Amino acid sequence: MKFKTTPYHAHLLKDTDRLSAFFNAIKDYDGEHDLAYDLGCGSGILSYFLASYFKQVKSIEINHKSSLCAQENLKDFENVEVINSDVLDYEFTKKADLIVCEMLDTALIDEEEVPVLNYAKDFLKENGKIIPQGIINTIELVNLERHYVHWDEGVNYESFSKPFVYSEYNFLDDINPVFEDELTLKADKVGIVNGLKITTYTILNDNLVAGPSPMLNPPLLIPLDEKSVKVNDLIKVKLKYIMGNGIESIQTEYI
């Protein structure tokens, strides 16, 4: 079947690592199969996977053009309803067994996964599940060529420390969208550091973790002032951002 998409969703469809991770998580889901919500359904591809497992699928998409594509792509499924709405304005009437929400981006800064799930998970049954179920973020020191916030899409940079896990989220928990912490990173070579690299790993379910792929959380590169470092120097950095408020919300400072 040929899916109708916007150009952006066409790129999402071409990322087969991303798609197979979600396909496998939906296939492996072992709870009740009454109702599933697909929040931010885009072209409808994840609803297409859900349709053969669930009695009812409600697919919500904020973008009008994308919702029309999803309606067209899913028109043969009587158990799927596509709704053109902001999830945050949608009045849920029924609790679901499963919520699929792929509004992911590195460290959840630039998309609305956190505000949307903080609202929508009230409409999940007591033993209900969320796909993905959470994320893990790692951070490292780097030397960057570009001195603005950007994603790792084939750009050059050099790593100056081992990555370590600085935050971890389970989407069943209430998540404070404001991240603020003081981090200590240990340099492992001599040279000039001028940035941070954040890598996000997506926990699809208890058995499946997806690393970055071109359209699923490519690492985020964040500039810092230049600093000379030696092996084993401890570099202390204050990092702040608001999940769902965009990369403009990122603030960094050496301590």
Residues that bind ligand SAM (CB under 6 A): 9, 12, 40-43, 45-46, 60-63, 66, 86-88, 102-103, 112, 116
Nearest to 147 by CA among 252, 232, 63: 252
- Indicate the residue among 61 and 152 with the shorter CB distance to ligand SAM: 61
Q: How far is the CB of 131 from ligand SAM (least distance, A)?
A: 11
| Contact between residue 151 and residue 107 where contact means Cβ atoms under 8 Å apart | no
- Indicate the residue among 23 and 157 with the shorter CB distance to ligand SAM: 23
Where do we find the tokens 């072992």? Answer: 30
- Indicate the residue among 97 and 112 with the shorter CB distance to ligand SAM: 112
Q: How far is the CB of 135 from ligand SAM (least distance, A)?
A: 14
Q: How far is the CB of 194 from ligand SAM (least distance, A)?
A: 30
Phi and psi dihedrals of 32, rounded to 5? -65, 155
Q: How far is the CB of 215 from ligand SAM (least distance, A)?
A: 8
Phi and psi dihedrals of 183, rounded to 5? -115, 145
- Indicate the residue among 73 and 194 with the shorter CB distance to ligand SAM: 73
Distances (CA, A) of 33 to 97, 191, 226: 7, 55, 53
Query: Residue 204: CB partners within 8 Å, gap ≥ 6?
Result: 21, 22, 24, 25, 131, 132, 133, 210
Tell me the chain's radius of gyration from C-alpha atoms.
20
- Which residue's Cβ has the minimum distance to ligand SAM? 40
What is the C-alpha separation between 53 and 50, in angstroms, rounded? Answer: 5
Q: How far is the CB of 92 from ligand SAM (least distance, A)?
A: 12
**96-101 and 35-39: which strand pairing?**
parallel
- Indicate the residue among 103 and 139 with the shorter CB distance to ligand SAM: 103
Q: How far is the CB of 235 from ligand SAM (least distance, A)?
A: 33
Query: Residue 78: CB partners within 8 Å, gap ≥ 6?
Result: none
Q: How far is the CB of 227 from ligand SAM (least distance, A)?
A: 35
* Cα torsion angle, 210, 142, 149, 119, sign: positive
| Contact between residue 240 and residue 248 where contact means Cβ atoms under 8 Å apart | no
- Indicate the residue among 28 and 145 with the shorter CB distance to ligand SAM: 28
Strand partners, 178: 242
